[in-house]
Amino acid sequence: MSCMLQSQRHLSFTKVSVINLIAVHSFFLLTVPFRIYYYASNTGWPLGSDFCKFVSLMIHAHIYLAFIFYVSLLIVRYVELSNQRHKLEFHRTLHATIASATVWLIIFGSVFPTISNYGNNQNNRDKHTDSTPCFHFSKALDDHRVKTLNYVLCTLVILVWSVLAFFQVYFLIKVIKAFGKVTCQRQEFWAQLKNFVLLLVVFFCFVPYQGFRVYYNKTVKPPVIQLIQ
């Protein structure tokens, strides 16, 4: 990704999306060792409830931020392939920064209020101990607002992917009909095939998880939810 960024002189939408993907994946990876330590040690969470909430916040924020920027990459490729003369670019670095910051603020603003209330009852009971449980957020699902937010986010992810999949199939069929037997020799076909592969990656990384979130948000008992969260 870094090599690709250095090769691009213009501040294109693709370049900005890749920069954001690098940032969101990096922030998420920094929080992973803390979760591994917690589950491996089985001695509680000695770092306080606030940091526990921050680690959990990064997990959920990472999911939706990464999804948004992957979708942005696909949309940009669709637009540029349909009109090769028109390249989507930011004319100023300030515009790219504002656009990126807006996406980050929207996601964090949507997820943080929910995460901030997670585990309050449990943490209050254990505030006098040296270590407390962490990632035990099943009781938060009793709040209808939390459930509603989960349903909305999951539905949006699945719906957006379905719309992109529809257009991708449409573009592939259009290219195949246009070039017939020589389709495999055309650059347009391979460009659409790359988009299709990226769409499959987005599907396997995001859609099944969101579908299962809808399932356990509605039916799974709290102890099982605790393990999943």
Distance separating alpha carbons of residues 22 and 195, to the nearest angstrom: 20
Percent residues over pLDDT 90 in the chain: 5
Q: What angle do CA 99, 106, 219 make, to 5 degrees?
A: 140
112 and 106 in contact (C-beta within 8 Å)?
no
pLDDT band per the 50, 70, 90 thresholds, residue 100 = confident
Q: Specify the pLDDT at position 139.
A: 64
Please indicate whether residue 136 or residue 53 has the higher confidence score (pLDDT): 53
Distance separating alpha carbons of residues 31 and 42, to the nearest angstrom: 17
pLDDT tens by residue, 137-191: 666 666 677 777 778 888 898 999 999 999 888 888 888 888 878 778 777 788 8
Residue 94 structure tokens: 């300030």
- Domain at 2-228, CATH from 1.20.1070.10, 3.30.200.20, 3.10.20.70, 3.40.50.150: 1.20.1070.10
The answer on pLDDT for 3 being more than 80 is no
Residues whose CB is less than 8 angstroms from the CB of residue 144 and which lie 6 or more positions away in sequence, other chains included: none
Count CB atoms within 10 A of the CB of residue 166: 10
Q: Specify the pLDDT at position 129.
A: 41
The answer on pLDDT for 16 being more than 90 is no
DSSP-based three-state secondary structure for 225: helix
Q: Specify the pLDDT at position 159.
A: 93
Domain boundaries, the chain: 2-228
Q: Could you tell me the pTM of the whole model? A: 0.76
Q: Specify the pLDDT at position 2.
A: 62
Burial annotation 187-213 (CB, 10 A radius, 16+ → b, else e): eebebbeebbebbeebeeebbeebeeb
